[in-house]
């Protein structure tokens, strides 16, 4: 394993592949990953070593001072995310503490962000799969989507698109989530938490 300070970061947007899922609440991790790819000037391509799409680049100051990052979107469906993420972690020689999962979170109000390292999966199938595959000591950016209204089942709620009211603010919240990831990678967890954990 490379020296941790210089090791690359693996930033994983969690979601389900394919156009049918693209606008779902469960796919907000993909939305943030897409914006980060745009910011570093890359396009997602199919990975050779894993069932995922990846973009390689740098975050932070231009040139060698920037942090090496690999952005990834698993193509395995949410509940099997651990396999592709672990394959990419091993291929790129990324320490588990440099892995960041971006995911939807039911227990936080819509648009609220929370950064942390380690912890439980809170019933999230993508996290459950990742933790089973590589342990829990990776970073998470939890993107609040709130609880389902009335008696709607959780599975139905997360696999529905954001409402028209939510979509009015979605771009702003996705942009803020991308800022939070950049801050985490370039300035560290504490700095990112104090700036973005609302």
Enzyme catalytic residues:
26
End-to-end CA distance of the chain: 35
Which pairs with CB-CB distance under 8 Å and at least 24 residues apart come from 66-70?
67/8, 67/9, 67/185, 67/186, 68/8, 68/9, 69/8, 69/9, 69/10, 69/11, 69/40, 69/185, 70/8, 70/9, 70/10, 70/11, 70/94
Angle between helical axes of 164-187 and 189-196 (0-180°, round to 10): 150
Query: Phi/psi at 73 (nearest 5 deg)?
Result: -130, 110
Q: What is the spatial distance between Cα 106 and Cα 146, in angstroms, rounded to a whole number?
A: 5
């Amino acid at each position: 394993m490379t020296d941790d300070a210089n090791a690359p970061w693996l930033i994983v947007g969690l979601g389900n592949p394919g156009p049918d899922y693209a606008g779902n609440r469960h796919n907000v991790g993909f939305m943030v990953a897409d914006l980060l790819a745009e910011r570093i000037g890359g396009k997602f391509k199919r990975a050779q070593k894993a069932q995922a799409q990846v973009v390689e680049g740098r975050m932070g100051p231009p040139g060698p001072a920037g942090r090496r990052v690999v952005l990834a979107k698993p193509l395995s469906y949410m509940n099997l995310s651990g396999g592709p993420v672990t394959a990419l972690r091993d291929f790129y020689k990324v320490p588990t503490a440099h892995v960041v999962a971006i995911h939807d979170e039911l227990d936080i109000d819509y648009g609220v962000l929370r950064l942390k390292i380690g912890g439980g999966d809170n019933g999230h199938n993508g996290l459950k799969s990742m933790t089973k595959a590589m342990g829990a000591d990776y970073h998470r950016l939890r993107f609040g989507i709130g609880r389902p209204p009335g008696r709607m089942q959780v599975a139905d709620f997360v696999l529905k698109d954001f409402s028209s009211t939510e979509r009015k603010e979605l771009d702003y919240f996705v942009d803020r989530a991308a800022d939070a990831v950049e801050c985490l990678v370039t300035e560290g967890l504490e700095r990112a938490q104090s700036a973005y954990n609302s």
